[in-house]
Amino acid sequence: MIRIKLLYSLLLLLLSYTGYSQFQIGAELRPKVLADNGYSVPKPADSKPYVYVAQRTRLNTLFKGEYIQTYVSVQDIRIWGDDDNFRASGISGNTTSICLHQGWFMLKPAEWLSLKIGRQLLSYDDQRIISARNWNDYQVTYDAILLKAGNSKNTIDVGISKNAESSKYSILPPQKFTMFDFVRYETTGEQLKWSAIALVTGNSVSDTVDDIRYRSTYGTNLNYSSDLFDARGSLYFQHNLNEHGGKLRAFSGSVYINREFIPAKLVIGAGLDFVSGQDETRTDVDYLAADHAFDLFYGNRHGWYGYMDYFSTMPRQGLQDYMFKAEYRITENMSALADYHYFRLAAGILDPENAGVALPRELGHELDLTLRWKLTKEASLQAGYSFFLITPTLETVKGVAGNPLRFPQFAYLMITVKPEFTFSTTNN
């Protein structure tokens, strides 16, 4: 007890000396058990269900003052048993599992203005192109400078990044962004929230030359809320800004409407997502002169295109997703959800076994059942079961056509514990 009081006194002294008014320390422990019998891709009929445990462990610290904030988050991501540092007499650990999740500082010279610099989470609008992707244990973090200005009604965000392989080598693999810059404006009213974003990205054409392919993505989001229903919609366009990588003309759109049928109990909604793709059945010269496959960049997949993640990598032909969702609040702390998806390709696909013959665009049906339970203030539980009724076209897209397959299904149980402690002081 004496040591705890001494530590607390030292923290208060540090906060007073440095000008900070608040110090927070927290952790996150998130183990999840996954039963894979066709998760992400159909499994061969002679295979067996695969059960494993993935765990995310984080330690977070936040210093918060009147004009400055700093945040550091270190995480360990592992599959139970994947240790690479072990002997017959015992397991020592995994040398590659610990990494920096976030590390940033934020200057706040005025109430309406802030500047955040460092590795940070970014998440905007419907998360189609910029998201945190929380199902992914590592999440998506961005090394960037973020300038934010505005008030409760109008805000503008400017994000700037410049990435390199090392201090001596600037060429990155084509899958990584050399730049990821954006400007976003948002205005909020009593019932309507509207935003617009312009994003410019740069990718190396290859990992051996320094030619950069620059792309521009423009988008808008609308959110409307009333006593009768809630609705959201988004639309994005994408094209190349230079000659590297060829011409690009692509788009994506989404609309979703839900309504509360039983007050504070039952909400039902329906929607459609469309992501453009390249049509293999088109032969006209003008169409073939451009690429029509929309790139989702770091956008969310798991939350929109089914929990089985069959479309974490978007098909070249794009995707149509017709969805129906229902959420029932069992108790104040427990909810049950059911999501249905009917998937189709957005563009035509040819049969690789029969030249010139087009396959049906239907990909199949997915049902996701989820239970969410807030156990305590610090702990929550989530459990889910999903299955996919696949079509021969999906088998072709996934590269498993012609082989006997198991019935695709997937289940998981995830517990999240997030304790947090706050120490504060007032500086005179």
pLDDT at 85: 75
| Model confidence pLDDT, tens digit, residues 375-407 | 999 999 999 999 999 999 999 999 999 889 999
Give me the residue label for tokens 């988004």.
Answer: 234
Rounded mean pLDDT of the chain? 91
H/E run at residue 288: helix 285-288
pTM, entire model: 0.90
Average pLDDT over residues 286-297: 94
Which whole number is the average pLDDT over 218-235? 96
Whether 314 shows a pLDDT value over 70: the answer reads: yes
User: Would you state the pLDDT for residue 421?
Assistant: 94
For residue 7, the model assigns a pLDDT of 47
Residue 17: both structure tokens together: 């000396």
Residue 119 contacts residue 102 (beta carbons within 8 Å): yes
In the prediction, which pLDDT does 94 show? 77
353 token code pair: 């076994």
Q: How far apart are CA 31 and CA 55, in angstroms?
A: 4
pLDDT the model gives residue 428: 56
Least confident of 137-141, 208-212, 264-268: 208-212
pLDDT classification of 270: cutoffs 50, 70, 90? very high
Q: Provide CB contacts within 8 A for 234, sequence distance 6+.
A: 125, 126, 128, 219, 220, 221, 222, 252, 253, 254
